[in-house]
A and B are shown apart, each in its own frame.
Chain A
Amino acid sequence: DTGVSQNPRHKITKRGQNVTFRCDPISEHNRLYWYRQTLGQGPEFLTYFQNEAQLEKSRLLSDRFSAERPKGSFSTLEIQRTEQGDSAMYLCASSLSATGDIQYFGAGTRLSVL
C-alpha cells in the first residue's frame, strides 16, 4: 500500500494556459474524489468517481474543469484557460466502499496561476 500519489506536486502556469493533474489512488480502491483547497479554508469537494463512472460534480466544477478516470484506476483533472482564481491546492482522495468509505488523501498539487 503506497498511499495516494499526486503529480505534479507544484505547478506554475500563466493565465489562459491549460493544466492537467494526475492522481493514482490506493490499489483496489473503487472510489476517487477531487477536492480544492484555498488558503485558510477547508477542502471543498469538486467531483467523485465510483470505478470509471463520474457520479457527482460540485457546482464549483465549472465548464473549464474536466475530470476522467478512464479505466477505474488513475484519474486526471484538467483545467482549461486557467484563471488567477484557480490558484489553489488540488487534493485527491480514494476509498473502498466495502470498508466504511474512509477517504485517504494524497499530498495534493499546488497550482499557481500568474
Chain B
Amino acid sequence: DAKTTQPPSMDCAEGRAANLPCNHSTISGNEYVYWYRQIHSQGPQYIIHGLKNNETNEMASLIITEDRKSSTLILPHATLRDTAVYYCIVRNSNSGYALNFGKGTSLLVTP
C-alpha cells in the first residue's frame, strides 16, 4: 500500500471548517483513500473513503486532487466532539489487507 504523509497536529475553531490534508504521491490506480478518526480512549471510527471522485457523507467531505497524489478531509462545521486523531490511509479496497494507520493528525477543536 502507498505511504501517506499528514501534519502531526492542527487546530480549528468550533463552528469553522476543518481541512485536514494528506499526501499520497505513490498511490496506484486501484488504491482507495480512507479516512478514520480515533477519539481518546475509543476504537478508530470510519469516516469516508474514495477512489478519484470527491465524496460526501453526513460526517465529512473528501476532496481528491485530479492526479490523486493528495487529498483533503473537510469537516464543514467542527464541534468540540470532533477533537481526535485523524488517519489518512491508502489501500486496495477489497484485498482484505490491514489498515496501515501511521501517526495521523491530532486535531484540536477549540471553543
- Residues of chain A at the chain B interface (Cβ within 8 Å): 4, 31, 33, 35, 41-45, 48, 50, 55-56, 58, 91, 93, 97, 100-108
Contact = CB atoms under 8 A, between A and B. Distances in A.
B93 A45 contact: no
Interface string B35-62: 0001001111110010000000000000
Contacts of A91: 43-44
Interface in B75-107: 85, 87, 93-104
Interface of B is mostly: loop
Contacts of B104: 42
Given A41-B103, A42-B87, A44-B101, A103 B46 contact: yes
Given A42-B104, A43-B101, A102-B49, A55 B42 contact: no
Contacts, number: 58
Contacts of A105: 43-45
Interface of B: 38, 41-46, 49, 85, 87, 93-104
Given A97-B94, A100-B94, A102-B49, A42 B101 contact: yes
Contacts of A48: 96-98
- Among B96, B97, B104, the one with the most A-chain Cβ atoms within 10 Å of its Cβ is B96
Given A33-B98, A43-B99, A108 B93 contact: no
A33 B99 CA distance: 10
Contacts of B49: 100, 102
- Among A50, A101, A106, the one with the most B-chain Cβ atoms within 10 Å of its Cβ is A101
Contact of B42 (A42, A50, A58, A107): A107
A50 B95 CA distance: 11
A80 B87 CA distance: 31
Contact of B99 (A45, A107, A108): A45
Contacts of B100: 45
